[in-house]
Amino acid sequence: MLSAVEILSNIYWVGAVDWNIRYFHGPAFSTHQGTTYNAYLIKDEKTALVDTVYQPFTQDLIKNIEEVSSLSSIDYIVVNHIESDHSGAFPEIMRLAPQAQVYCTQKAAEGLNKLYGGNWEFNIIKTGDEISLGGKTLRFIEAPMLHWPDSMFTYCPEASLLLPNDAFGQHIASSSRFDDGVDLPQLMDEAAKYYANILYPFSALVARKLNELSGLEIKMIAPSHGVIWRSHPDKIVEAYSRWSGGKSKPKAVVVYDTMWGSTEKMALTLLDTLMEQGVEAKLVKMSISDRNDVIKEILDAKALLVGSPTFNRDFLPSLSAFLDDVKGLKPKSKIGAAFGSFGWGGGALKGIEEKLQEAGVELIQPGIGVKWAPTEEELTSCRELAMKVAERLNRE
């Protein structure tokens, strides 16, 4: 069990590390590297606890608080977000620290009482409201839909510290609490996966929030999952600016599945041609891939080519969850096309194209359908599609 860690003078990480979690949000989000539930204790003339942890880790939180303070010394509890991974320990902390005044948004107050059948009283905050801890101040910034309606950020101007809860988070369990204690490319990869799978649909709000935050001096960003941005806060803010702005690179992701190999031949032809044209390309066979990892690949790619044979008049079920996810996440400024083999009436292309269009992907040409196995001419059509994609990517 990890001990409390002083992240800045009299500001402590008092959270928990979940080394073994492999799926988050039920089955919705793969967490290959585990995660952490970060809570922070700020000591001053008054003491504030910012967020709690997932309920099974309540004892870790209590132990860490008691290492540096005591539950009876907590004057304020700030709830930045009511989701269970951050508020699960809240009822127990309220039982042990009944003197604490709770600060949260109106939506959080309603949500906490409903989630836990409580009858707690809350101090409802609006953006700009502050509480003084003595030498330090906590300033609140509402952040609705980043990523729930109740979400808010807490900022401590004296420490130039932003506590944005889920924003800027990453699912990484590690022995270090800081960005300089883990491999940076791996960290950015996990942060990208987090953004792509959680915040993508709210990109316009992220961009607006970054603009709002740009007036603040921020030296440290301490999110509620993963490591604290101590050495590279600028790097994650720049990445969020890029991702929320829909900026991509000349990269194409070819996602497909196949029963007997014909659609795979088409996918490989597309891939080879894209690479010949100098385009960064990624081939993904969906049935043996992790959906959340593939979504992350799409984040910085301009093109998404999706292939499936027709299976009962539609695309293969192994692509369904992925295509539904893309539809829900609404990636910005992507181009795409469909391809696949069929035996008689077809149907996969229409199904894929509908999903891509619903996701807002611009179809650059009608899909390529091939009866049974592709002929040399039909593979040439695949090469032409890849050339068209490459030309567009290399031009933009």
Q: Which residues are catalytic, by number?
A: 25, 81, 83, 85, 147, 166, 194, 225
d(Cα 76, Cα 71) in Å, to the nearest integer? Answer: 11
Residue 137 makes CB contacts below 8 A (sequence gap 6+) with 130, 131, 156, 157, 158
Residue type, 144: P
Residue type, 359: A
Query: Which CB atom, from 231 or from 287, has the smaller least distance to ligand FMN?
Result: 287
d(Cα 202, Cα 145) in Å, to the nearest integer? Answer: 7
Query: Which CB atom, from 209 or from 265, has the smaller least distance to ligand FMN?
Result: 265
Closest CA to 79 of 135, 33, 118, 26: 118
Q: At closest approach, how far in Å is the CB of 282 from ligand FMN?
A: 19
Question: Which one of 134, 260, 321, 366 is in contact with ligand FMN (CB under 6 A)?
Answer: 260
Site membership for ligand FMN, residue 178 (CB under 6 A): no
Question: Which pair of tokens denotes residue 1?
Answer: 């069990």
Site membership for ligand FMN, residue 258 (CB under 6 A): yes
Exposure string for 52-64, b = 16+ CB within 10 A, e = fewer: bbbbebbebbbeb
Total residues binding ligand FMN (CB under 6 A) = 19
Q: Going residue by residue from 369 to 388, which x/- string records binding to ligand FMN, judged by CB under 6 A?
A: ---x----------------
DSSP 3-state of 280: strand
Question: Which one of 88, 250, 309, 336 is in contact with ligand FMN (CB under 6 A)?
Answer: 309
Site membership for ligand FMN, residue 26 (CB under 6 A): no
Question: Is 23:30 a contact under the CB 8 Å cutoff?
Answer: yes
Q: At closest approach, how far in Å is the CB of 346 from ligand FMN?
A: 5
Q: At closest approach, how far in Å is the CB of 312 from ligand FMN?
A: 5
Question: Is 141:221 a contact under the CB 8 Å cutoff?
Answer: no
Question: Which one of 32, 313, 391, 396 is in contact with ligand FMN (CB under 6 A)?
Answer: 313
Question: Which one of 56, 98, 135, 261 is in contact with ligand FMN (CB under 6 A)?
Answer: 261
Q: At what angle do helices 262-276 and 376-395 cross, to 10 degrees?
A: 40
Question: Which pair of tokens denotes residue 260?
Answer: 């007997």
Query: Which CB atom, from 76 or from 315, has the smaller least distance to ligand FMN?
Result: 315
Question: Which one of 99, 119, 175, 312 is in contact with ligand FMN (CB under 6 A)?
Answer: 312
Query: Do β-strands 161-165 and 220-223 pair in parallel, antiparallel, or remain unpaired?
Result: parallel
Select from 69-77, 92-100, 147-155, 253-261 the region that touches ligand FMN (CB under 6 A): 253-261
Site membership for ligand FMN, residue 263 (CB under 6 A): yes
Q: Which DSSP letter does residue 197 get?
A: I
CA 231 to chain centre: 21
Question: Which one of 203, 310, 318, 381 is in contact with ligand FMN (CB under 6 A)?
Answer: 310
Helices (H), the chain: 58-68, 84-87, 90-96, 106-116, 184-194, 203-213, 233-244, 262-276, 291-299, 320-329, 348-358, 376-395
d(Cα 136, Cα 159) in Å, to the nearest integer? Answer: 8
* Lookup result for tokens 């590390």: 17
Query: Which CB atom, from 27 or from 345, has the smaller least distance to ligand FMN?
Result: 345
Write down how long the chain is. Answer: 396
Q: Going residue by residue from 317 to 356, which x/- string records binding to ligand FMN, judged by CB under 6 A?
A: ------------------------xxxxxxx---------
Query: Which CB atom, from 12 or from 311, has the smaller least distance to ligand FMN?
Result: 311
Question: Which pair of tokens denotes residue 44?
Answer: 């001053």
Q: At closest approach, how far in Å is the CB of 304 from ligand FMN?
A: 19
Query: Which CB atom, from 69 or from 258, has the smaller least distance to ligand FMN?
Result: 258
Select from 17-25, 106-114, 117-125, 307-315 the region that touches ligand FMN (CB under 6 A): 307-315
Query: Which CB atom, from 251 or from 265, has the smaller least distance to ligand FMN?
Result: 265
Give the interface with ligand FMN as residue ranges (CB under 6 A).
258-263, 309-313, 341-347, 372
